[in-house]
A and B are shown apart, each in its own frame.
Chain A
Amino acid sequence: MPDIILALLRLIFLGLIYLFVWQVARGIATHLGIHAERRRRRGTKVVIVRSDTQAGLDFTVTDATVIGRSPEADIVIDDPYASEFHLRLVATENGLTLHDLGSTNGTYLNGRRVTAPAELRRGDAVQVGKTVMEIR
């Protein structure tokens, strides 16, 4: 019986050591900017989840991307309520930032109208007219 307890305690001891190492390793990865660098290089994926004609399309934001109705925009959305140049998504170290470019009908983040540049998180819903995009 004591043998089993001892064997178990030994494994718990090793397990705790690894848990510790894992915690420190995560801290170091952030410190050296490994996460941020990887995210920046990979970009952030945005999916159009609701639209009359474009539902299911996706695009990846790696630097600054302008979204609007104009053919000159980086991402052209087919929505009569969208402005020519409606909003800009900027990839930063922490993910994406949303800038509304003075659009006529406004940009809504999770149902709320955006008045100042906003940081976007995974799962956020960005609405332009009738089009809804989700950050992945």
Chain B
Amino acid sequence: MTRNTEGVLVAVASALAAFGVALVEFAGGESIGAQVGLTFLVFVIAFGGIHVSLRAWAPDATPLLLPPVALLAAIGFLEVYRLSPYRAGLQRWWLLLAAAVTCAVLAFLSRAGLSLLRRYRNTMLLVAVGLLLLPNLPSSGPLPIRGLTQGGSRLWVVFDLGFTELHFQPAEIAKVLFVAFLAAYLADRQAALTGAHRKLGPIRIPEPRQLVPLIAVWAGSLLILVYQRDLGASLLLFLTFAALLYAATGAAGYLVAGGLLAAGGGLAAWRLFDHVQRRVQAWLDPFADYADTGYQVAQGLFALGTGSLSGSGPGLGRPDLIPNAETDFIFAAVGEELGLAGSIAVLCCFALFLAAGFGIALRSRDRFRTLLAAGLTFVIGLQTFLIIGGVLRVLPLTGITLPFMSYGGSALIGNFLLLGLLARASQEERS
């Protein structure tokens, strides 16, 4: 596939977004007009802009990353528009801003290169931790920036700009910085990590001393769970770290140790916190407390069941009955209105994105780039797995957004930042 094909596919994805919006309006009996044109325009500017900056600043980067992202964004936008035209209007602005972030990353790194990130790894860690701590600011006070608790989790930061308030979820940016830090840290510590191992049967067990960072991050993610009550971010942080340790060393012992620690932490959290207990209860039997804790999961299941094979059609289902359908449960909304066919297409897109991302990691000759590409791709894959697993009742619900699809500005910006870094890694690997 060439850069030209990428351009064509991006244009097709933009047309599909407009087509989807037109279908929603047609189904609602409204005249097809401004919204369709506006959607097409925004998608063409956003993804066309990324396409052009790839041509300008990363001409050798693989053309396989952008098309799946564009299609995911198109399908996601269609459902967000269908659920809330007001939020879709905001989402269009966020999409433009996020695309601008990708372009800026590509332009900025086209001179300095990714090695810049490696040099400033400790700064990135500080910024990431700072961002993670931001929501713990007092909820009221003289500062123009406040923390906010929503849905039981303390994840939000509110910027008071005087005339309006801007809500932001800093963890979405922090996760990208954290992966970049980890990749740099592990690339620098390579020798120390692979050196000593003990053998226990067929499994190589890392030296106890080598497990110190693993346990430190585990403790950190438990703190997030306790103080911010965010199961999703906590799991994401810890599992990403375990996966990167495995990618850096090839020692399956880290996966085993990581899995055991995660299970132990999860079990302890389940015993100690009632919000985790409620989640597990809603997972095991959503219909036991249908009207209250199990309501969201149960509605999601109804939506998927109603959708059947080809779905009710955009605008013709009732995904608005699912709480948080446009953020956490967007996959259920897709399942209802585009059916099994649509949801499998979404899964295919994610699979293709992951294949392209891991392809970059496998082909990179530089350790840092390999780990960075693997880590960034893993974050997207894990997030997709956790939230779709939660919607499908394979896992307890963790309450994170579906990358590139859910409504939400911080998530879009974080994930498009990640896209820019991946494209840059691909450029350096192939040029």
Contact residues of A with B, CB < 8 Å? Answer: 2, 6-7, 9-11, 13-14, 16-18, 20-21, 23-28, 30-32
Contacts and interface: CB of A to CB of B under 8 A. Distances in A.
B345 interface: yes
Interface in B296-330: 310-311, 313-314, 316
A16 B310 contact: no
A34 to B, nearest CB: 10
Contacts of A9: 23, 26
Contacts of B139: none
Given A20-B9, A27-B5, A27-B64, A14 B345 contact: yes
Contacts, number: 83
Contacts of B13: 20
A23 B9 contact: yes
A18 B345 contact: yes
B71 interface: yes
B348 A32 contact: no
B46 interface: no
Q: Is the interface of A mostly helix, strand, loop or mixed?
A: helix
Contacts of B20: 13
Contacts of B26: 2, 6, 9
Contacts of A27: 1, 5, 63-64, 67
A13 B352 contact: no
B268 interface: no
A15 to B, nearest CB: 9
Contacts of A21: 71, 345, 348-349, 352
A29 to B, nearest CB: 9
Contacts of A16: 12, 16, 19
Nearest to B2: A27
B341 interface: yes
27 contacts: A2-B26, A6-B26, A6-B27, A6-B313, A6-B316, A10-B313, A10-B314, A11-B310, A13-B20, A14-B311, A14-B339, A14-B345, A16-B12, A16-B16, A17-B342, A20-B12, A20-B71, A21-B345, A23-B9, A24-B64, A24-B68, A27-B64, A28-B64, A28-B352, A31-B1, A31-B359, A32-B359
A14 B1 contact: no
Nearest to B315: A6
A20 B15 CA distance: 12
Contacts of B75: 17
A10 B12 CA distance: 16
Interface in B5-43: 5, 9, 12-13, 16, 19-20, 23, 26-27
A20 B310 contact: no
Given A17-B342, A24-B352, A31-B1, A6 B64 contact: no
The listed residue with most B CB atoms (<10 A of its CB), out of A6, A9, A20, A30, is: A20
A52 B356 CA distance: 51
B310 A31 contact: no
A13 to B, nearest CB: 6
Nearest to A2: B26
A123 B222 CA distance: 64
A20 B68 CA distance: 9
B256 interface: no
Contacts of B338: 13-14, 17
Report the 9 A-B pairs with minimum CB-CB distance, sorted nearest first: A27-B1, A10-B313, A21-B348, A17-B345, A28-B355, A24-B67, A24-B352, A14-B341, A27-B64
